[in-house]
Structure 1
Amino acid sequence: MHKFKVLVANDTIAQIAHDLLKAECEVIVCKAERSSILAHIAGVDALFWSSLLKLDKEILDRAGPQLQVVVTMSAGYDHIDIEEIKRRGIKFGNFPSVLNDALADLGVLLALAASRRITEGLLAVGKSCFCPTDGNRPLGVDISGSTVGIVGLGGIGQNIVQRLKSFKVARFLYTGHTEKPEGKAIGAEFVPMEILLRESDFVIACIPLTKETEKMFNAEVFSKMKKTAVFVNISRGDVVNQPDLINALKDNMIFAAGLDVTTPEPLPPNHELMTLPNCVITPHIGSATVKTRRYMAEMTAKNILHALKGEPMITPVL
């Protein structure tokens, strides 16, 4: 009996994905490196993608015309050449809601860490230089009683609102293309971007990277925020004009920033963003929990198997 060939383009994927695929397919595993992928992809029927590497025409050409399905183990797919996949009639899927809880947790963590000047605190601890007990210690800003603005009230944004309610946030604002019934249900107020920027103490970006959102957070946007505002980005690095953010932080145009995503990734050790005491940076770990990654791997494998069998994909994009 013919067995479909599946390339798992990452050798660190949870074992459950391998077990599911091997039960019905021939599985090839390679490193999440472009050269390794190009060396192993020829002749496969399905591609398990778990990398922020660009999935482009060259890789698809090397795979060959028999490639039927591609599934990315991520919610975002700005790193995937969707038009090329569509042109070839390849089925494509992702997982838009699996990451909601883990990313919301990290969004709250970054908001709190940036607002309480954790980077400065860690630097002081590293120098055995604890804060003075008098009134000269560095002061953060409170989330209790604040106004939190969510840019992009999808599943992640909604989960952030639900979590922050326990912190006694006074008001939740959100903006987007249209007002959402989910916003009203969780007590968030739909406002234009201008009002959100002007009135929010915390601005949290939860938007996909598109042509519309690329470099959306720029000097003009930062200039409209409060000088005491904290900016958090858990979406994609390229939704921010990074030089403009650096200037806003250096010039105290805003109070602080918490970032899980940057441009590039990883940042060089000597990158200016890494030197700023009012910036907390994590290395794109939004989904990096054991439970979340295991579930993502499992569902990506199942999505591939559904497509190969001619069954509806669990979460199709194309």
Structure 2
Amino acid sequence: MSKKVQAIYVWWQKPIIDRELLESLPNLKVIANSGVGIDHLDLKLISSFGVKMANAPNAVSSSTADTGMALLLASAKRLVEGCQIAVSPNTEYFAADWMGDEVTGATLGIIGMGRIGYKIARRAKAFEMKILYHNRNRRTEEEERAVGATYCTKIEDLLQQSDFVMLVVSLTPQTCKLIGKRELEWMKPTATLINISRGPVVDQNALVEALQNGVIKAAALDVTYPEPLPRDHPLLKLKNILITPHLGVKTDKATRMITEEAVANILAALNG
């Protein structure tokens, strides 16, 4: 079948695209990725075989933005911890001094204001949040005004002012460990870090120390490295962290939309 294959659809990073596979498919014209992130693909290698590469950024944006807001709200309101208390057979009363964080009126710092980041800003506006953002390229004044967002030239300024920091960047050599010990120390001790981008964007060792020592209050992660984490990983032992299994785009509707976008990309490439 190898000579008949003209396209590959990569779902959840499978199949692995390596030199051996590319050499075995002489008529391959396009590789379509499910979702926006392509950090698992060697673009230079793929290009050297004359193969086009496509991702599906449009289909994933709404579902991922929803996941980001869900993590923010769940962490602020301590929903998982609260559920455990409510259903525990050992619970005899609800503590009166058991408190979460206020979301309405809080400051949200969005690092990465692309499609997903902007949709998060639109959602956050409905919660009357003050929105700061840091991005490679500044949005237009009209776009900023529409969501009430303020641009921060320096990431330091955003981190120092935000009650919640949301990471929505692609994984590149420039964004690997974008948030490390120094950046965590810039954050408020009452702040929460939320990562819906890729695990390596955060230095996990530095995050463990920050959460253990009260440098920041909490973290909510939909992504880690590796996935899943080893069962003895120190992040799993902390009470002030919420971790979900890369739920970002995992809805029936989003999955179908991703596949439709990928198929459209394949057909576009095959039709020139």
Could you list the runs of 4 or more consecutive aligned residues of structure 1 that deviate by over 6 angstroms after TM superposition?
Answer: none
- Is the CA contact (8 Å cut-off) linking 2:59 and 2:261 kept in structure 1? no
Structure 2 partner of 1:304: 266
Match of 1:197 among 145, 159, 162: 159
Letter matched to residue 242 of structure 2: V
For the structure 1 residues 131 and 283, does the alpha-carbon distance in structure 2 shift closer, same or farther, using more than 3 Å as the test? farther
What is the aligned partner in structure 2 of residue 20 from structure 1? Answer: none
Q: 1:129–1:153: structure 2 CA closer, same or farther, 3 Å change rule?
A: farther
2:81 aligns with 120
2 CA distance for matches of 1:257 and 1:140? Answer: 14
* 2:222 corresponds to which of 260, 282, 297: 260
After the TM superposition, which residues 1-318 of structure 1 pair with which residues of structure 2 at under 5 Å, given as runs?
Answer: 44-52=5-13, 54-61=16-23, 63-125=24-86, 127-130=88-91, 132-137=93-98, 139-169=99-129, 171-181=130-140, 182-191=143-152, 192-310=154-272
Per the normalisation by structure 2, the TM-score is: 0.92
Contact 1:118 1:280 in 2 (8 A): no
Paired with 1:70 and 1:120, the residues of 2 have a C-alpha distance of 42
* 1:100, distance to aligned residue in structure 2 (A): 1.1
State the distance in 2 between where 1:278 and 1:183 align: 32
d(CA) in 2 for partners of 1:211, 1:278:
29
Distance in 1, matches of 2:71 and 2:92, equals 21
Cα deviation digits, residues 252-290 of structure 1 (max 9, x gap):
211111111100012233322122111111111111111
Amino acid paired to 1:175: H
Give CA-to-partner distance per residue, 1:14-67, whole Å, 9 cap, x none: xxxxxxxxxxxxxxxxxxxxxxxxxxx676221111123553323323x33221
For residues 113-143 of structure 1, the C-alpha deviation after alignment (integer angstroms, 9 at most, x for no partner) is 1112234324434533448545432x21111
Gaps of 5+ in 1: 6-40, 311-318
Provide the secondary structure at the position in 2 that maps to 1:114. helix
Provide, for residues 133-170 of structure 1, a one-character-per-residue CA deviation record: whole Å limited to 9, x for no partner: 45432x2111111111000111111111111222121x
Larger mean CA deviation between 225-234 and 298-307 belongs to: 298-307
Alignment gaps of 5+ in structure 2: none
Q: Would the alpha carbon gap of residues 64 and 133 (structure 1) be closer, same or farther in structure 2, given more than 3 Å must change?
A: closer
Which amino acid letter does the alignment assign opposite residue 256 of structure 1?
A: A
Q: Alignment RMSD, CA only? A: 1.9
Please give the alpha-carbon distance, in whole angstroms, between the structure 1 residues aligned to 2:249 and 2:95.
40
Structure 1 distance, partners of 2:136, 2:268, is 33
